[in-house]
């Protein structure tokens, strides 16, 4: 409610949407209801989801709460974090960039529809779990061990879960990683991009900047999280429209991250 009433809120949201979020069941109820079965498989949990034929391999070292959270975000269409709206739905034969793929649940959701999926994920824990999940789809799903930004280079990853962030400094316990850009990948692969999904822990704008030529050329559908600290959804919208003036957009959801009102998602598509 403080986010809804805040004078700093610069995007529309209806009272019914706020009420829906307030009375929404917790993800432990929603997510668990979307799972048919969980079996132990060595250091992983083999998760059989409703509506998906293949299993998701979840690192057993991570909390079940986080599993229920990502299942809710990717499979509950009423959730503010849901990556597809009518205008940005992954279509048959789309080439999809899953930027910040984590455990790969979004890639798994759109696997049957997409022509190719390129999953960018720097955390070794998640890379290994995705290699199990997509073991039989190596020709369709490419798992690339990179973080994305606006320049190529080296950095460190702080944290070893869904909430890991890219940092410049090297500290004990941080994981050294490689950084690339969407444009560099696009130049090397020569693939046309149809859909960009991004959940990048405040690096969303930099990733857009690193994909400027690809976005300008291919005009992909885009679904970005915009609720992380430092995110400015209007800055991202204006940047993308500067590249592709015909982009239409929708924001959805309401976040009060660090006591500042932000939408949860920004969706863009060419009209």
pTM: 0.93
Share the mean pLDDT of the chain.
Answer: 92
Q: Does position 17 have pLDDT exceeding 90, yes or no?
A: no
Domains of the chain: 81-270 (3.40.50.150)
User: Coil, helix or strand for 100?
Assistant: coil
| pLDDT at residue 219 is higher than 80 | yes
Is 39's pLDDT higher than 70?
A: yes
Q: Alpha-carbon dihedral of residues 76, 78, 81, 86, nearest 10 degrees?
A: 100
Pairing mode, if any, of strands 175-180 and 195-198?
unpaired
Residue-level pLDDT at 170: 65
> Residue 72 contacts by C-beta under 8 Å, 6 or more apart in sequence?
27, 30, 31, 34, 79, 81
Question: What pLDDT sits at residue 169?
Answer: 64
Residues 169-182 have a mean pLDDT of 82
% of the chain surpassing 70 pLDDT: 94
Using pLDDT thresholds of 50, 70 and 90, give the confidence band for residue 91.
Answer: very high
Reply yes or no on whether the pLDDT at 155 is more than 90.
no
pLDDT the model gives residue 168: 66
Summarize the confidence of residues 104-130 as an average pLDDT: 97
What integer pLDDT is reported at residue 67 of this predicted model? 97
- The mean per-residue pLDDT over the stretch 89-107 comes to 97
* % of the chain surpassing 90 pLDDT: 77
- DSSP code per residue over 191-253: PPP-EEEE--TT-HHHHHHTTHHHHHHH--EEEEE--STT--HHHHHHHHHHH-TTEEEEEE-
- Band of the pLDDT at 151, cuts 50, 70, 90? very high
């Amino acid at each position: 409610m403080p986010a809804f009433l805040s004078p700093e809120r610069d995007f529309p949201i209806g009272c019914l949407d706020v009420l829906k979020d307030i009375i929404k069941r917790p993800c432990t109820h929603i997510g668990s209801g979307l799972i048919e079965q969980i079996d132990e498989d060595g250091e992983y949990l083999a998760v059989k989801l409703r509506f998906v034929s293949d299993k998701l391999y979840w690192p057993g070292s991570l909390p079940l709460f986080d599993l229920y959270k990502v299942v809710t975000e990717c499979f509950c269409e009423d959730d503010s974090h849901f990556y597809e709206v009518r205008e940005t739905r992954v279509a048959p034969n789309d080439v999809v960039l899953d930027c910040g793929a984590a455990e790969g649940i979004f890639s798994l959701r759109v696997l049957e529809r997409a022509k190719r999926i390129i999953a960018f994920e720097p955390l070794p824990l998640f890379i290994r779990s995705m290699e199990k999940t997509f073991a039989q789809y190596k020709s369709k799903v490419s798992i690339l061990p990179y973080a994305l930004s606006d320049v190529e280079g080296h950095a460190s990853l702080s944290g070893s879960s869904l909430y890991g962030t890219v940092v410049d400094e090297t500290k004990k316990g941080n994981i050294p990683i490689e950084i690339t850009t969407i444009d560099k990948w696009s130049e090397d692969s020569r693939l046309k991009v149809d859909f960009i999904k991004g959940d990048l822990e405040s690096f969303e704008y930099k990733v857009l900047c690193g994909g400027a030529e690809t976005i300008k050329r291919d005009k992909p559908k885009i679904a970005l999280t915009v609720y992380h600290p430092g995110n400015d959804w209007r800055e991202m919208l204006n940047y993308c429209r500067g590249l592709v003036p015909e982009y239409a957009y929708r924001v959805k959801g309401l976040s009060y991250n660090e006591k500042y009102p932000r939408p949860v998602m920004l969706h863009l598509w060419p009209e």
